[in-house]
Amino acid sequence: YACPDGKPCDPAFAGFDKQISAAAHRFRQLFDGGYKGYWEGPGHPYRVGEGTDVHPVNVATGVLYIYTPWIGSYPAPASGNKAFWGIWIDYGFGEPTKPTLPTDDSRLAEPVWPVVALPGEGFQGTIALRNEGTATWQNVAGYALVNAGNPMGAPERLPLPHDVPPGETVTWTLNLIAPKTPGLHPSRWQLQHGDEPIGERITVWVGVLPEKAREWKVELDRLIEEAKHKWEEAKQRGEKEFERFVQELLVQLQRELARIIEEQGQALWEALLHWLEEACSGAMLPASALALAGMWLGRRRK
């Protein structure tokens, strides 16, 4: 405001607050009839320069066009609104664009291995997620790991231990208590932003041994560590090959059913059968659990 083309600006109107106040006052004047010195009104064209006309459909639009930046070639002729046009060009204003909003996505950073426990026993599980989106996960923004079924004694909502920028990883340690019923039990978890789920649902599978099978726990814990090493080797060969490897273990597991019944008795067989039924019924039993079962059966057969 008060910076006419070809003349110095009026220092009386210097400063952001004075520019805003004076411009608002001027717009009010133009809207109340002052536009007639520049434009004949609705239904008539308004010339913005270099023979270009626009056709405002109402007074409000016409008043805005009086202050429209020059649309001609650079440098603008003196007859245009050169000062504002120069700011428009110099600071990169252009056609309006739709802003790109940050996106939320996640992926498991490490496999979630099954845990073997005795009835009522306390144990720990871990879930590591990588931020695959473009938004930073923050506690203050409502990001948290939320239980989606069977928390097993853990809090149902676990806050982030730290902010997680895109591409970074966060790990939660779950303090869980095994159910008292032998068999395979899932504890399901979901990363959420407020009430919105992010990425896939994660399942921590817990194999609860019968009390009479207590002596197997040490052996199975050792087999879990061996399975982790085999998983690392399989990753180097590629995920598809590892899937075939798991399918072969499943076939081996099915072949051993009759022998397990004879050796271990009906009670223990029911617990193992539950594991097999979960795997074969599409219950998303993790590949690591099948690998563990296959190695265990192979060792017991020897």
Answer yes or no: is 5 within a domain. no
Q: Decide if pLDDT at 277 tops 50.
A: yes
Q: Tens of pLDDT along 173-187?
A: 999 999 998 777 889
Comparing 5-14, 130-139, 152-161, the range with the smallest average pLDDT is: 5-14
Answer yes or no: is 284 within a domain. yes
Q: How far is CA 126 from CA 61, 185, 192, 218, 270, in A?
A: 60, 16, 17, 20, 28
Residues 202 and 225 in one domain: no
- Residue 257: what are its φ and ψ, rounded to 5°? -60, -50
156: confidence class by pLDDT, cuts 50, 70, 90: very high
Answer yes or no: is 96 within a domain. no
Supply the mean pLDDT for the chain: 72
Which is more confident, 113 or 149?
149
**How much is the pTM?**
0.53
How far is Cα 40 from Cα 35, in angstroms, rounded to an integer?
Answer: 8
Among residues 219, 235, 215, 228, which one has the least CA distance to residue 289? 228
Which range of residues forms the domain containing residue 294? 211-302
Question: Buried b vs exposed e over 240-251: b needs ≥16 C-beta within 10 Å?
Answer: eebeebbeebbe
Alpha carbon dihedral 278, 283, 288, 292, in 10-degree steps, equals: 0
Asked if 275 and 293 count as a contact pair (C-beta separation under 8 A), the reply is: yes
Residues 120 and 188 in one domain: yes
What's 58's DSSP letter?
A: S
How far is Cα 119 from Cα 125, in angstroms, rounded to an integer?
Answer: 16
Q: Which of 162, 179, 208 is the last residue of a domain?
A: 208
Residues 109 and 194 in one domain: yes
Comparing 12-26, 58-72, 142-156, the range with the smallest average pLDDT is: 58-72
Among residues 241, 191, 182, which one has the least CA distance to residue 217? 182
How far is Cα 180 from Cα 221, in angstroms, rounded to an integer?
Answer: 19
Task: Return left, alpha or beta for 265; rule: phi > 0 is left, psi -120 to 50 is alpha, else beta.
Answer: left
Q: Which of 43, 58, 90 is the last residue of a domain?
A: 90
Give the range with max mean pLDDT: 60-69, 139-148, 163-172: 163-172
How far is Cα 279 from Cα 247, in angstroms, rounded to an integer?
Answer: 11
Question: In the chain, what percentage of residues exceed pLDDT 90?
Answer: 23
Residues 195 and 110 in one domain: yes
Q: 3-class SS at 1?
A: coil
CATH of residue 180's domain is 2.60.40.10
Structure tokens at 56: 């405002």
What's 137's DSSP letter?
A: B
Q: How far is CA 137 from CA 155, 160, 169, 170, in A?
A: 20, 8, 10, 10
Q: Tens of pLDDT along 232-254?
A: 777 676 655 544 554 454 344 34
Q: Which of 193, 208, 223 is the last residue of a domain?
A: 208
Asked if 120 and 180 count as a contact pair (C-beta separation under 8 A), the reply is: yes
Structure tokens at 292: 């563990």
The alpha carbon of residue 111 and the mean position of all alpha carbons in its chain are separated, in whole angstroms, by 18
How far is Cα 132 from Cα 114, in angstroms, rounded to an integer?
Answer: 25
Alpha helices per DSSP H over 180-256: 216-237, 239-255
Number of domains in the chain: 3
